[in-house]
């Protein structure tokens, strides 16, 4: 985003929007983690960029589009998590940047299970 004022320009980088979206996503109930994937890890190493894990953004002059890749917690309805996630991310980005978020796409790449085996084994020996 670039805004021209009498005092100068205000620019909001893609990385800032990605960070805001990522933090809002992690605060959403039911989201266990963000999913970076193998290609993002390789891209980080090759480009040296500190991209936000699991978040891709496209930022224009007054609008932004956001793609999220997440891991959900087992037992929580995925559609519910997705809708809450879209609402939370849209609200956070619009409030903090003034951009209009035209879309928030959510790709669920995994399900996180509670580690019940570890807790059972920990209590076996006293």
Secondary structure of residue 102 in the 3-state scheme: strand
Where are the chain's structural domains? 14-36+52-112
The CA distance from 54 to 95, in Å, is 21
The CA distance from 39 to 42, in Å, is 5
**Mean pLDDT over each residue of the chain, to the nearest integer:** 82
Q: What is the mean pLDDT of residues 43-59?
A: 64
Please tell me the predicted confidence (pLDDT) of residue 118: 46
Query: pLDDT at residue 36 above 90?
Result: no
Whole-model pTM: value is 0.76
Query: pLDDT at residue 44 above 70?
Result: no
Please tell me the predicted confidence (pLDDT) of residue 11: 83
Of residues 111 and 41, more confidence is placed in 111
The CATH code of domain 14-36+52-112 reads: 3.30.70.1350
């Amino acid at each position: 985003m670039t805004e021209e004022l009498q005092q100068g320009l205000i620019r909001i980088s893609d990385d800032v929007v990605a960070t805001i979206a990522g933090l809002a996503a992690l605060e959403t109930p039911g989201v266990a983690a963000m999913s970076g994937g193998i290609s993002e890890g390789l891209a980080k190493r090759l480009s040296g960029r500190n991209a936000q894990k699991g978040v891709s953004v496209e930022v224009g002059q007054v609008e932004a589009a956001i793609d999220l890749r997440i891991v959900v917690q087992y037992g929580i309805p995925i559609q519910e998590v997705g809708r809450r996630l879209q609402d939370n991310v849209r609200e956070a980005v619009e409030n903090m940047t003034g951009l209009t978020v035209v879309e928030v796409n959510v790709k669920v790449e995994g399900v996180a299970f509670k580690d019940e085996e570890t807790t059972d084994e920990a209590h076996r020996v006293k």
